[in-house]
Copies of this chain bind each other. A is one copy, B any other.
Amino acid sequence: MRIGEKPEIARLPLFRDMDDAMRERVLSGSFLQVFPPQLTLFELGQNADFLHVLVDGLVELYVTGAGRDTTMKIVEPVTSFILAAVMTDLPYLMSARTLTSSRVLLVPAALMREVIHKDTALMQATMHELALAYRDMVRALTDMKQRQSAERLANHLLEYSAQRGNLWEFDLSGEKRLLASLLGMTPENLSRAFGTLKAHGVKVSGARVRVEDRAALTAFAHPNPVPADR
């Protein structure tokens, strides 16, 4: 990989605390690649050959099969993804594609597994990332099981807003049908969910969302009592 990128990547939580020589070993065996939008990075069922780290851009993790496709997670920089498949040497459970032009660091899985045994800091960081990813999935599953569609949207808006410093007005990032799939509903239903949220302090025009009455929206959302981890 090119030299210019290294400091940026060395600062990632995953690699930050590693032994310098070990990090050098990992990074020199890895590839930083730029992918165009809408490119499939890997598909579910394949062997986990590379750990992926999204450095720049936007990536969608999704699942196909059983009739319908559904997006599981939107990966924002800077985050590693599919750590679990790499560490266990098991096939991917999800497919991944770029949404925008993206820079991705590809770390050969075998190299990763080799170095992790020798570097405690890397192993610890990996463990931590996995634990957070697990908790993220627990949240998503409870969300899907105990809330109906408009409540899921309400929660999403509250969390999205909280992520960017409790901004009360913001733009949705991707297309709305992507958001619909992430929230486990059809695009039509997402439109209607926005409609019902009008009565609970939310105004929408296009991609722009304004939360005019946070208290009302929160009351409607039945938010999770345990705040998000990150």
Contact = CB atoms under 8 A, between A and B. Distances in A.
A130 B134 contact: yes
Interface string A109-134: 00000000100100110111011111
A2 interface: no
Contacts of A25: none
Contact of A140 (B44, B141, B147, B151): B141
A124 B124 contact: no
Interface residues of A, number: 50
Contact of A142 (B72, B135, B145): B72
Q: With a 10 A CB-CB cut-off, give which of A72, A139, A146 has the most chain B CB atoms.
A: A146
A173 interface: no
Interface stretch (A88-96, A160-168, A195-203): A88-96
Given A117-B124, A138-B93, A144 B145 contact: yes
Nearest to A124: B123
B225 A65 contact: yes
A84 B83 CA distance: 15
Nearest to A140: B141
A194 to B, nearest CB: 20
Contacts of A45: 225-226
Give the one of A63, A84, A145, A184 with max B CB within 10 A: A145
17 contacts: A44-B226, A63-B145, A65-B146, A66-B146, A66-B222, A67-B222, A70-B145, A85-B135, A87-B131, A90-B135, A117-B124, A120-B123, A123-B124, A134-B137, A137-B137, A137-B138, A137-B141
A151 B67 CA distance: 11
B132 A88 contact: yes
A128 B87 contact: yes
A229 interface: yes
